[in-house]
Structure 1
């Protein structure tokens, strides 16, 4: 064999050995070690979150007692008013049928009055001559007075139909819309020239203005049926407003609806809570809000992070893997745990692990292993 052939064979042998070594290292199974963490003591609160809004506790809608057209509005939204303050006036647009009927009643009352007047004057002369008795005279006088009053009433009714008021009504004129309570004007949904409908037994009527006491606000929201059974009236809650960041207003739960309503396939129950306001902030009616309601609270209990938990595929029992041994001989042992209250991040452990146990952090290898993988 020539020298050149020997050199070629030597090179091939070296390359072959190098490839075998490389393949061996590549196929060699690396030992992965996991990071661990110990159970800890903390306070866990299980909360329910109700979404809703804040609204005034007392809110009154002013409605007219007569149909017509808004003639003038004397206040603006945001104004503070007292009971009896004039809010707006209504100009009456007479109903043709009612106007015609009222005119007819006036004419009939006028005829009755004139007839009674003639009879009274005739009987008065006869009584003065002693022709008729006092009783006949007094009866004709009574008929005359009744006819006079009926004519006055008919004319007043005609005035009310025409103008919405009549002489002698004064402040009771129903064309004047006055505040029925003290507070802030939070809404005026009408303008000058708007047609309004009176409030009666058959119609709610047109709202001219809404007055509310802005110093007394309540939270009104809804909670899911899975949580409503754990709520208790009188519970202290915290209300966060979307318009006021970083501020929580204390409130007290005062109402839990006895009947739920179905929304998007889930049954929701209405709740209400009295909100304690802060003079530093002006809370407007209708602000969107969330209420944090503590359903269960435990102080200083042994806990772990929920991410450490796994569930048995067959029994569905929760378990963790606890480290046994040290160094290369360390292994992880499966431990079934009994759980308590959870806040969604941390969960109470009632049994199965101790404060000194080192629990595997799933999918988190040690830093040394990460470097070797690279």
Structure 2
């Protein structure tokens, strides 16, 4: 009898223990199905939001002069190397001047010949004028005699013909002098051009700066013409003023203004941020490919790197030294707008929904019966296609309410809420597919830590 009582007692205790374990397991989610949707959540807070436009580009000098050959020939001397600092007027390179010296000599001879021809023409003019004076006197005397009837008409005609020939000789001599004068001017112009071509064989620095690029070697041939750009020889740059040239998309360019500050990150200086300012915005787009169907339209923006932000990288004994080199890769974050301590939520908590969707349908789960097509049709009919921004606010009982909001600027983490929320309310922030598609007004949710939520998703 005693053994039977002990058995009943043991069974009762065991049943109670099993029941407790079942309750604990149920609460812990080890067994059974939890009807609530697991989500992560954050409270509505006040944050300082800085709206930025991010773009990548290359470092370049603000002022860079490309020196090209103006005449053709062989490079016989190069007097500088890349990195040299030169002053305005410094001789940088020399092209073989021999053929231009010969051309100059020919032009000097041509000028002398033209001047001699001019002198001869003037001499002939003087002779013609002298002969004309004599002929004119004879003509005037014989004309009077002819008028008085002293000489015959034939004699007067002979004198008159000689007079007209002398007059024509003077006119021809004057034209010869004029032509010879033009010949001298032409020869002198050619001489001037030859001198300029000879001078162009020596390439001088037009400005002070640093040799940033040397494109030719001694012995190479370069081509230069007056009508088009010749072979590039040297680049001079002012490395004390550097900028980043970036391409900004057409959707972002409307928010960028000259004078906006920027944070500049250069790949060569990891974990270092420099200060920049927008100095120039292109008026015209630089399209990647005009004929391409998937054309990308960008605008070039230039951001000056403020020297004070990197002066610690400049050695005291080298005030003209620049820690940046043309062509370095850089990323800029242009600060287009800043709002202090405004109502904000995490970006991922804001989604879009049809503005007139009625109360939510029951969330389908494995094993649930399909809803009737009639119900789906009726509910779809309640949609108007008007899409609005909204968030899901969590109530005290775990029920979410879909609330329409009006948003403002945003940074990489937060987005400003202009209307629809107040500080302290809790909004659903994840998972993404739940916020963007699955969650509906009136659903029950269970807030869990993010790490637990992501572990569940991985499983």
- For Structure 1 versus Structure 2, the TM-score category normalised by the shorter chain is 0.5 to 0.7
Matched with 2:305 is 275
Q: Is 1:266 matched up with 2:307?
A: no
Q: 1:33 to 1:60 in 2, by over 3 A?
A: closer
Of 281, 284, 292 in structure 1, the residue corresponding to residue 325 of structure 2 is 284
Unmatched segments (≥5 aa) in structure 1: 1-21, 120-142, 166-172
Of 308, 313, 331 in structure 1, the residue corresponding to residue 399 of structure 2 is 331
Q: Is 1:340 matched up with 2:411?
A: no
The answer on whether the counterparts of 2:346 and 2:429 sit within 8 Å (CA) in structure 1 is: no
Within 5 A, what are the aligned runs for 1:51-66?
Answer: 51-66=56-71
Alignment partner of 1:296: what SS? Answer: strand
Matched with 2:448 is 366
Larger helix share, 1 or 2:
2
Greater CA drift, 353-362 or 184-193: 353-362
The answer on whether the counterparts of 1:219 and 1:275 sit within 8 Å (CA) in structure 2 is: yes
The answer on whether the counterparts of 1:76 and 1:188 sit within 8 Å (CA) in structure 2 is: yes
Which stretches of structure 1, 4 residues or more, deviate above 4 A after TM superposition? 25-29, 97-104, 106-113, 369-374
The answer on whether the counterparts of 2:41 and 2:447 sit within 8 Å (CA) in structure 1 is: no
- How many angstroms apart in 1 are the aligned matches of 2:64 and 2:429? 56
Of 71, 83, 87 in structure 2, the residue corresponding to residue 82 of structure 1 is 87
Within 5 A, what are the aligned runs for 1:1-374?
Answer: 29-32=33-36, 34=38, 35-92=40-97, 94=99, 105=110, 108=113, 165=198, 173-200=199-226, 202-263=227-288, 265-277=295-307, 278-281=310-313, 282-313=323-354, 314=383, 315-326=386-397, 330-363=398-431, 366=448
- How many angstroms apart in 2 are the aligned matches of 1:325 and 1:80? 71
Equivalences, count: 306
- How many angstroms apart in 1 are the aligned matches of 2:419 and 2:401? 16
Name the Cα RMSD after superposition: 4.2
TM-score (norm 2): 0.56
- How many angstroms apart in 2 are the aligned matches of 1:103 and 1:354? 91
Larger strand share, 1 or 2:
1
Which structure: larger Rg?
A: 2
The answer on whether the counterparts of 2:244 and 2:304 sit within 8 Å (CA) in structure 1 is: yes
The answer on whether the counterparts of 1:254 and 1:272 sit within 8 Å (CA) in structure 2 is: yes
- How many angstroms apart in 2 are the aligned matches of 1:110 and 1:303? 89
- How many angstroms apart in 2 are the aligned matches of 1:27 and 1:217? 65
- How many angstroms apart in 2 are the aligned matches of 1:297 and 1:283? 29
Unmatched segments (≥5 aa) in structure 2: 1-21, 124-176, 289-293, 314-322, 355-382, 432-445
User: In the TM superposition, what is the alpha-carbon distance from 1:99 to its structure 2 partner?
Assistant: 9.2
